[in-house]
């Protein structure tokens, strides 16, 4: 039944993905080969996205490409002619969920044998994923990674013509401009400013799945942001795995992330956020640019990972707890009232109870207003996967629970400071639990549910906060 002629067969290599050759970055402009135009007319696609904002942004581009070919989107899984999973490799449980989903979709193939199932994103960049796909999921017809989404027209064309495509490039990466984007949100947009990561934190798979750090030209970014403002978008989130390394790869100019913020501060977009920052690379110039205020929103996600210097060293984070605190204090000084959130990993190999307590203490000291907390998950090919002294399942969960209790207490405190205050909310739509209320996010990135007067989706409105809850603020439009 299943046809196994490959139109392409290139498998990933972690060894190649690790290399950083310092070659010039190739820029190109996206274009669809006329051979594929209208190929998707009459066909429906269903795109499922896992992982970080980088993947959400890539998915909007892939949706843009598919629609440029004539495909239309469907939410109904069984209606889809083409199903594509854009995946994340950051932790084991994220991956297992995808394999579970692939298994579930195998059943649909019985009723709809022509359905083409594909997988892309970070998981196929791992050798072990491609091994497992070949062994246990032979019905997955399209496999590609993060470096070649612009080849999607060719991949779907080949797959619909009975061929199998596996093309995972373990290269440093390039930059392709002008890919069509189908944005999910009417008022908020992702704007990639750079790709890849050169940090090589010892636990992390991203530098292997996304290639080296490479920046888009500021002119392209500013042009995109101005075009978004003109088209009615209110907020942009600048994206990169380590946005503070923006511009380090430019050979023709001295221009960094702070310069970009300064330039975007002068554009017509009403709100700017960015993620993710690396504490080592976050510099004073960037903190000063944040202090310009205006359209630069007063919130920052600054992953700390651990509050213990010995653990930070083994994670290869390249900063100490003291250096982290110094930057936090500067941020609080330059941007009064700033809301700071973070990421924390517990149960890193060999983490002692005392070292874990240092993390708890740090959370109290910084007063993070939110934190994503994770149990360490070994990733094949990364240095930490070979570290010894793993903790027991019980220890891992116990630490996560204890940490979450402290994090939650501080989040609530961070919410309470807005009671009786007036905040500005970008209206997203009806509130999840009460259709009579609208919801949206404040300048400090707090979810606000409120009783509307005239507000509609995409508006910026003033809301008086009546009560703070752990996960949202409740208010009334003024």
Binding site for ligand SF4 (CB under 6 A): 197, 199-201, 204, 206-207, 241-242, 278
Residue 345 dihedral angles phi and psi, to the nearest 5° = -110, 125
Give the bridge partners for 63, in sequence order. none
List the one residue from 30, 36, 374, 387 that touches ligand SAH (CB under 6 A): 374
Secondary element (H or E) of residue 356: helix 353-366
The site partner of 361 among ligand F3S, ligand SF4, ligand SAH, none (C-beta below 5 to 8 Å per kind) is none
* Binding residues for ligand SAH, total number by CB under 6 A: 17
Cβ proximity to ligand F3S, 90 vs 245, nearer residue: 90
Q: Is the dihedral of CA 392, 395, 400, 403 positive or negative?
A: negative
- The pair of three-digit structure tokens given for residue 134, joined into one six-digit string: 């070949």
The site partner of 345 among ligand SF4, ligand F3S, ligand SAH, none (C-beta below 5 to 8 Å per kind) is ligand SAH
List the one residue from 12, 40, 54, 118 that touches ligand F3S (CB under 6 A): 54
What is d(CA 436, CA 457) in angstroms, rounded to the nearest whole number? 14
- Residue written as token pair 């944040």: 290
Residue 201 dihedral angles phi and psi, to the nearest 5° = -60, 140
Q: Is 62 in the site for ligand F3S (CB under 6 A)?
A: no
Q: Is 122 in the site for ligand F3S (CB under 6 A)?
A: yes
Shortest spacing between CB 286 and ligand SAH, in angstroms: 15
Region of 57-65, 170-178, 375-383, 407-415 interacting with ligand SAH (CB under 6 A): 375-383
Q: Is 89 in the site for ligand F3S (CB under 6 A)?
A: yes
Cβ proximity to ligand SAH, 157 vs 376, nearer residue: 376
Footprint on residues 153-182 left by ligand F3S (CB under 6 A): none
The answer for 90, left when phi > 0, alpha when psi is -120 to 50, beta otherwise, is alpha
Beta carbons of 328 and 340 less than 8 angstroms apart: yes
Shortest spacing between CB 251 and ligand SAH, in angstroms: 24
Strands 422-430 and 438-441: antiparallel
Q: Is 276 in the site for ligand SAH (CB under 6 A)?
A: yes
Region of 37-45, 52-60, 366-374, 454-462 interacting with ligand F3S (CB under 6 A): 52-60
What is d(CA 193, CA 197) in angstroms, rounded to the nearest whole number? 13
What binding mask, one character per residue, do residues 178-217 give for ligand F3S by CB under 6 A, x or -?
Answer: ---------------------------xx--xx-------
The site partner of 374 among ligand SF4, ligand SAH, ligand F3S, none (C-beta below 5 to 8 Å per kind) is ligand SAH
The site partner of 208 among ligand SF4, ligand SAH, ligand F3S, none (C-beta below 5 to 8 Å per kind) is none
Cβ proximity to ligand F3S, 55 vs 415, nearer residue: 55
State the Cα torsion 216-217-219-223 to the nearest 10°: -10
- The pair of three-digit structure tokens given for residue 432, joined into one six-digit string: 């999840």
Measured from each CB, the residue nearest to ligand F3S is 51
The site partner of 379 among ligand F3S, ligand SAH, ligand SF4, none (C-beta below 5 to 8 Å per kind) is ligand SAH
Characterize 350-383 residue by residue with b for buried, 16 or more Cβ atoms within 10 angstroms of its Cβ, and e for exposed: ebeeebbebbbebbeebebbbbebbbbbebebbe
Shortest spacing between CB 188 and ligand F3S, in angstroms: 19
Region of 15-23, 40-48, 50-58, 263-271 interacting with ligand F3S (CB under 6 A): 50-58
Shortest spacing between CB 146 and ligand F3S, in angstroms: 7
Laid out side by side, the sheet with 371-375 consists of 299-301, 339-346, 371-375
Q: What is the DSSP annotation of 59-117? A: HHHHHHHHHHTT-EE-S-GGG-SEEEEEE--SSHHHHHHHHHHHHHHHHHHHH-TT-EE
Shortest spacing between CB 171 and ligand F3S, in angstroms: 16
Cβ proximity to ligand SAH, 95 vs 167, nearer residue: 95
Shortest spacing between CB 145 and ligand SAH, in angstroms: 17
Tell me, letter by letter, the H, E, C secondary structure of 141-182: EEEECCCCHHHHHHHHHHHHCCCEEEECCCCCCCEEECCCCC
Largest separation between any pair of C-alpha atoms in the chain: 66
The site partner of 102 among ligand SF4, ligand SAH, ligand F3S, none (C-beta below 5 to 8 Å per kind) is none
Beta carbons of 364 and 399 less than 8 angstroms apart: no
Q: Which of 247, 243, 169 is nearest to 211 (CA)?
A: 169
Footprint on residues 332-351 left by ligand SAH (CB under 6 A): 343, 345
The site partner of 200 among ligand F3S, ligand SAH, ligand SF4, none (C-beta below 5 to 8 Å per kind) is ligand SF4
**HSE of 407 in the Cβ direction (CA atoms, 13 Å)?**
19
Footprint on residues 188-227 left by ligand SAH (CB under 6 A): 203-204, 206
Beta carbons of 81 and 105 less than 8 angstroms apart: no
Peptide bond into 2 cis (omega under 30): no
Q: Is 381 in the site for ligand F3S (CB under 6 A)?
A: no
**Which residue ranges make up the site for ligand F3S (CB under 6 A)?**
51-52, 54-55, 88-90, 121-122, 205-206, 209-210
- For ligand SAH, the binding residues (CB under 6 A) are 90-91, 203-204, 206, 241-242, 276, 278, 303, 305, 343, 345, 374, 376-377, 379
């Amino acid at each position: 039944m299943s046809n196994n002629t490959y139109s392409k067969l290139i498998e990933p290599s972690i060894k190649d993905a690790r290399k950083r050759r310092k070659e010039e970055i190739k820029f190109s402009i996206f274009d669809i080969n006329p051979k594929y135009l209208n190929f998707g007319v009459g066909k429906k696609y269903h795109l499922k996205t896992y992982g970080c904002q980088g993947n959400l942004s890539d998915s909007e581009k892939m949706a843009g490409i598919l629609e440029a070919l004539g495909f239309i989107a469907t939410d109904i899984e069984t209606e889809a002619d083409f199903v594509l999973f854009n995946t994340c490799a950051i932790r084991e449980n994220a991956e297992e969920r995808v394999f579970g989903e692939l298994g579930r979709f195998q059943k649909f193939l019985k009723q709809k044998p022509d359905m083409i199932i594909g997988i892309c994103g970070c998981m196929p960049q791992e050798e072990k994923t491609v091994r497992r796909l070949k062994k246990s999921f032979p019905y997955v017809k399209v496999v590609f990674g993060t470096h070649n989404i612009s080849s999607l027209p060719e991949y779907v064309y080949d797959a619909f013509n009975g061929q199998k495509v596996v093309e995972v490039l373990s290269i440093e990466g390039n930059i392709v401009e002008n890919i069509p984007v189908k944005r999910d949100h009417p008022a908020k947009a992702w704007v990639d400013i750079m790709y890849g990561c050169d940090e090589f934190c010892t636990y992390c798979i991203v530098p292997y799945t996304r290639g080296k750090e490479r920046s888009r030209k500021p002119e392209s970014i500013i042009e995109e942001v101005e075009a978004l403002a003109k088209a009615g978008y209110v907020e942009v989130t600048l994206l990169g795995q380590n946005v503070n390394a923006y511009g380090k790869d430019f050979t023709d100019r001295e221009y960094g992330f702070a310069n970009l913020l300064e330039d975007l501060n002068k554009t017509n977009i009403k709100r700017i956020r960015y993620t993710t920052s690396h504490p080592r690379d976050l510099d004073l110039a960037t903190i000063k640019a944040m202090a310009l205020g205006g359209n630069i929103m007063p919130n920052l996600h600054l992953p700390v990972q651990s509050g213990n210097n010995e653990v930070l060293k083994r994670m290869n984070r390249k900063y100490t707890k003291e250096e982290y605190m110094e930057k936090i204090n500067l941020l609080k000084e330059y941007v009064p009232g700033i809301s700071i959130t973070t990421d924390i990993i517990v149960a890193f190999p060999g983490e002692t109870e005392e070292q874990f307590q240092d993390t708890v203490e740090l959370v109290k000291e910084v007063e993070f207003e939110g934190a994503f907390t994770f149990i360490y998950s070994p990733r094949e090919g990364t240095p930490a996967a070979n570290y010894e002294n793993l903790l027991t399942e019980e220890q891992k969960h116990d630490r996560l629970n204890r940490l979450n209790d402290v994090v939650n207490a501080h989040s609530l405190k961070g919410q309470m400071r807005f009671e009786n205050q007036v905040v500005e909310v970008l209206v997203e739509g009806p509130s999840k639990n009460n259709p009579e209320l609208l919801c949206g996010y404040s300048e400090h990135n707090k979810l606000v549910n409120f009783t509307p007067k005239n507000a509609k989706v995409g508006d910026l409105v003033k809301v008086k906060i009546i009560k703070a809850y752990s996960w949202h603020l409740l208010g009334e439009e003024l």
